[in-house]
Amino acid sequence: MEQYQYLTFTARLKRISDSLLYGAKDLYKTLNLEIEPNWHLVFLLFKEKNTLTITEIAENIKISQPGVIKIVNKMKAKDYLKAETDKRDHRIQLLKLTTKAKKELPKLDKVWFAGEKTIKELLDNNTDIFDQLDKIENAIAESNYKDRTLIHLKNG
């Protein structure tokens, strides 16, 4: 399949991201941590702001709002997040880190820092791929896969 670089691109991205994801799950299990992959994205946001809403989290970590609800509910269930209703707008959940979360954060930070080192290593300290991913994301935002492909089909 090596000759079909473009046609295998999407599946390849999924395979790599899956491999890192399952690796992280496995790591947390080995370390007896109650966290899951990608929760660190939420924790990172709380470094800059101590109250966040579902919508804010979704916008910032670029995961859909129902996706964020699932993450937040799991984090609540493990006592890492607590919520109170906004007094001025009862639709809004004001989310905060719990005492447990704050207490565990230094330990978790160490694990994420080690994970960051791994990614650096895997990328061989070459940051070019970030620019390339930027370009891809921007190009998709401009016109997505379906629209572009329909145009190519039309133009033969």
1 interacts with, out of a second copy, DNA, none, CB within 5 to 8 A per kind: a second copy
Least gap, CB of 124 to a second copy (angstroms): 6
Least gap, CB of 62 to DNA (angstroms): 7
The CA distances from residue 24 to 76, 96, 108, 137, 150, in Å, are 20, 24, 13, 24, 38
* C-beta contacts of 3-10 below 8 A and 24+ residues apart: none
Least gap, CB of 127 to a second copy (angstroms): 7
13 contacts DNA (rule: CB under 7 A):
no
Query: How many Å apart are CA 83 and CA 98, to the nearest integer?
Result: 9
25 contacts DNA (rule: CB under 7 A):
yes
Return the residue of 3, 32, 48, 90 that touches DNA, per CB under 7 A: 90
Cβ–Cβ < 8 Å for 50, 43 = no
Please work out the total of residues on this chain that contact DNA, with binding judged by CB under 7 A.
Answer: 30
Which structure tokens are listed for 52? 């966040």
Return the residue of 8, 12, 13, 15 that touches DNA, per CB under 7 A: 15
Note the helical H segments in 31-127.
39-45, 54-61, 65-77, 99-122
Per-residue string for binding with DNA, 27-66, x by CB under 7 A?
---------xxx--------------xxxx-----xxxxx
143 contacts DNA (rule: CB under 7 A):
no
